[in-house]
């Protein structure tokens, strides 16, 4: 089959080639691993032309859906929901905190496999040790104010879209300095990782009756993280469109520092040899009209036929100088 050079996935592939060709060399302070990065890039997907689940390598779609539901719930300060659903993309962060307690003699030594099994089996253990701090969805749904209130940014946005769709201030932020680990009062009150996808902005085209969403991502691991982020925020765009009564428009992905780690270069080159296939279709249960009512079973992906996954190690960063690199399961698989 001849390559369709207009296929929207080429935006992603061309971004990786751009970094290989023009990226500036850096060394990650958190991991000590070299990388090449460019600054200030943008890609865009028209959601009427298919769901942007990349086809040049298999993306962990089940993980995308479960993680997004976890974020949207606002209860994503603990990994138990993900563990119970066999999604392990956040395991390393609470396990790293647990290892710190082991070093201090405050907890018995466990392998990560034993630790995760105990999270699954023991609710009290999960409550004590499954914490990842007030990350993304906590800020989206339970932003703490100086006067003691909690602001639900989603509820505010959805209500305002329904009332005054032409407003320009539908901005949702996960960047809260009080809880980022370099500014937080303590390890215990900090997010496990400073938000990489820091804020998103929703816009309504009242003439075409479409809802579009633009993400600003301050830091982007283009090989492992970005395919996951594209699918996640495209799906969020579709969910928000449905509950506000609009059609999905565009998902716009704007990057700050977007990079390739030196230990991913061979995998990137392998992926760049592949030609994209047609995007799949995402079907959503049209009966869901409230953002809090979505369940995993409400989503069906049809006609997804990707190339095989490409394995790579994931950088576990964040948290008071305790950063490291593991060989854990990545979001790209």
Give yes or no for residue 106 having a pLDDT over 90.
Answer: yes
Binding-site sequence positions for dUMP:
218-221, 229, 259-261
Residue 192, pLDDT score? 72
Summarised one tens digit per residue, pLDDT across range 33-88 is: 899 999 999 999 999 999 999 999 999 999 999 999 999 999 999 999 999 999 99
Candidates 196, 226, 240, 252; catalytic one: 196
Q: What integer is the mean pLDDT of 167-185?
A: 86
Which pLDDT score is estimated for 173? Answer: 97
Segment 7-31 shows an average pLDDT of 94
- Supply the pLDDT for residue 115: 98
**What is the per-residue pLDDT across 53-65, written as a single tens digit (0 to 9) for each?**
999 999 999 999 9
Tell me the domain boundaries of the chain.
9-76+134-326, 91-131
Q: Residue 176: which pLDDT band, with cuts at 50, 70 and 90? A: confident
Name which residue leads in pLDDT, 331 or 39. Answer: 39
pLDDT beyond 70 at 125: yes
Contact 55, 277 (CB under 8 A): yes
CATH superfamily of 9-76+134-326: Thymidylate synthase/dCMP hydroxymethylase domain (3.30.572.10)
Residue that the structure tokens 């950088």 belong to: 315
Rounded Cα distance, 105 and 111, in Å: 15
172: three-class secondary structure by DSSP: strand
Give percent of the chain above pLDDT 90: 83
Strands (E), 207-313: 210-221, 247-261, 281-284, 299-302
Nearest to 70 by CA among 91, 87, 58, 94: 87
CA 314 centroid distance within chain: 14
Instruction: Measure the CA dihedral 66/71/77/79, to 10°.
Output: 10
The pLDDT > 70 percentage for the chain reads 92
Work out the number of other CB atoms within 10 angstroms of the CB of residue 187: 14
Q: Note if 76 is an active site residue.
A: no
- Where would I find the H helices in 36-185? 61-73, 80-84, 92-103, 112-121, 123-129, 136-142, 153-163
Which has the closest alpha carbon to 167: 213, 210, 202?
202
Binding site as annotated, residues: 218-221, 229, 259-261, 315
Model pLDDT, residue 321: 41
Cα separation, 269 vs 59, in Å, equals: 17
């Amino acid at each position: 089959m001849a390559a369709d050079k207009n296929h929207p996935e080429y935006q992603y592939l061309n971004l990786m080639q751009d970094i290989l060709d023009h990226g500036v060399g850096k060394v990650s302070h958190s991991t000590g691993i070299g990388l090449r990065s460019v600054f200030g890039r943008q890609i865009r997907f028209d959601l009427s032309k298919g769901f942007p689940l990349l086809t040049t390598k298999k993306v962990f779609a089940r993980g995308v859906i479960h993680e997004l539901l976890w974020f949207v719930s606002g209860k994503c300060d603990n990994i138990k929901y993900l563990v119970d659903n066999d999604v392990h993309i956040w395991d390393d962060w609470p396990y790293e905190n647990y290892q710190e307690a082991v070093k201090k003699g405050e907890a018995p030594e466990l392998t990560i496999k034993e630790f995760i099994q105990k999270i699954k089996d023991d609710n009290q253990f999960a409550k004590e040790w499954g914490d990842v701090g007030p990350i993304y969805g906590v800020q989206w749904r339970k932003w703490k104010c100086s006067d003691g209130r909690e602001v639900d940014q989603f509820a505010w946005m959805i209500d305002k879209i329904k009332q005054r769709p032409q407003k320009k201030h539908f901005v949702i932020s996960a960047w809260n300095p009080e809880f980022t680990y370099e500014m937080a009062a303590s390890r215990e009150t900090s997010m496990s990782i400073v938000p990489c996808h820091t804020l998103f902005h929703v816009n309504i085209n009242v003439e075409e009756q479409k809802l579009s969403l633009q993400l600003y991502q301050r830091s982007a691991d283009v090989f492992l993280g970005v395919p996951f982020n594209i699918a996640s925020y495209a799906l969020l765009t579709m969910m928000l469109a449905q509950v506000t009564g609009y059609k999905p428009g565009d998902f716009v992905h704007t990057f700050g520092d977007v990079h390739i780690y030196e230990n991913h270069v061979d995998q990137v080159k392998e992926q760049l040899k592949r030609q994209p296939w047609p995007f799949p279709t995402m079907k959503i249960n049209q009966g869901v009209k409230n953002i809090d009512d979505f369940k995993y079973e409400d989503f069906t992906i049809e006609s997804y036929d990707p190339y095989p996954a490409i394995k790579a190690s994931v950088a576990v960063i964040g948290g008071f100088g305790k950063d490291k690199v593991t060989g854990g399961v990545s979001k790209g698989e």
